[in-house]
């Protein structure tokens, strides 16, 4: 089936605005399988684009965090005979606190392998011998991973947040966040500026991801059914965020602010690059 370009772009735009696949199907009159094929093709192009454009970056303050979702079913429902792709999935995200650029991300399990893949991708995007400050949460694989991957190139600190019991046991309280009772700063390598040890920007970015990608919305049936679809959706979102979306505080896209491009891209330009 040959899909008209305008209708294909509309379908992709709807997905980027948090519309579910079935809602997009009703609006565009395209079959859901066609929409998912468009998503995968767009995701593949965005992966290639990010790898080409995100090179030699000179970010000064990078924040790292992980965002939870799941594929097919939640981890507690995964059986021994199920595919290893099913269950909990995590998106590791790096964000430049100054330009709000997302130079690197990785989708996978929350383990050592994914952590090292994420850090290696980030290293390949940063200019050689460029020193920067890196702040992550307290995930334990970062501690050795940053040392092994960056070998002293990063002034590295971890911001560990301790949460208490919210004390609510009713149905409405089960999904409310527990109160944060303490933050602990751990200097891991180099001499990071304590004033800039923070993960606030990347945590705020996580909210945008959940608002803009329907498959990240909690307590719905819009979760990813296949890992490839999740990876494609993430690739599309991060490329669109970097090159096309005008950041409210910057008044330009993060890619323009970071000097990667000189103008704000259209979705058509993004997918044809």
pLDDT along the chain (273 residues), means of 10: 90 95 95 96 97 96 96 94 95 97 98 98 96 96 96 95 66 64 93 96 95 87 92 98 95 97 97 89
pLDDT at 166: 56
pLDDT at 176: 67
Q: What is the DSSP letter of 200?
A: H
pLDDT at 163: 82
| Cα–Cα distance measured from residue 70 to residue 118, given in angstroms and rounded to the nearest whole number | 18
Q: What is the tally of structural domains in the chain?
A: 1
| Cα–Cα distance measured from residue 272 to residue 42, given in angstroms and rounded to the nearest whole number | 9
214-240 residue pLDDT tens: 999 887 788 899 999 999 999 999 999
165-178 residue pLDDT tens: 755 545 445 566 67
> What is the token pair recorded at 187?
């200097």
What is the secondary structure of 9-67 as a DSSP string? HHHHHHHHTT--HHHHHHHH---HHHHHHHHHHHHHHHHHHHHHHS-SB--SEEEEEEE
pLDDT at 164: 78
| Cα–Cα distance measured from residue 214 to residue 64, given in angstroms and rounded to the nearest whole number | 22
Assign residue 22 the CATH number of its domain.
3.30.420
Q: H-helix or E-strand containing 211?
A: helix 200-212
Range of the domain at 133: 5-272
Are the C-beta atoms of residues 256 and 262 closer than 8 Å to each other? Answer: yes
Quick one: which of 218, 212, 203, 216 has its CA closest to 239?
Answer: 212
pTM above 0.85, yes or no: yes
């Amino acid at each position: 089936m040959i899909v008209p370009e305008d209708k294909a772009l509309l379908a992709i735009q709807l997905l980027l605005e948090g519309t579910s696949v079935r809602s997009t199907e009703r609006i565009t009159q395209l079959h859901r399988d066609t929409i998912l094929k468009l998503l995968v093709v767009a995701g593949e192009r965005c992966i290639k684009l990010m790898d080409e454009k995100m090179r030699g970056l000179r970010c000064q303050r990078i924040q790292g965090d992980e965002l939870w979702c799941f594929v097919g079913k939640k981890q507690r429902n995964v059986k021994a005979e199920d595919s290893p792709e099913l269950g909990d999935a995590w998106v590791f995200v790096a964000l430049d606190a100054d330009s709000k650029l997302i130079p690197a991300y990785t989708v996978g399990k929350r383990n050592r392998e994914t952590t090292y893949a994420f850090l290696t991708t980030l290293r390949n995007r940063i200019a050689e011998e460029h020193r920067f400050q890196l702040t992550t949460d307290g995930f334990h694989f970062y501690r050795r991973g940053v040392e092994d991957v960056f070998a002293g190139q990063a002034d590295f600190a971890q911001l560990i947040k301790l949460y208490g019991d919210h004390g609510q046991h009713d149905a409405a309280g089960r999904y409310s966040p527990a109160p944060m009772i303490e933050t602990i700063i751990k200097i891991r390598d180099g001499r990071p500026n304590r004033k800039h040890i923070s993960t606030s920007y990347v945590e705020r970015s996580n909210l945008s991801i959940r608002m803009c990608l329907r498959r990240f919305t909690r307590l719905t049936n819009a979760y990813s059914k296949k890992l490839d679809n999740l990876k494609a959706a993430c690739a599309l979102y991060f490329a669109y965020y970097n090159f096309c979306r005008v950041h409210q505080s910057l008044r330009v896209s993060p890619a323009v602010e970071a000097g990667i491009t000189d103008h704000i891209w259209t979705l058509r330009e993004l997918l044809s690059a």
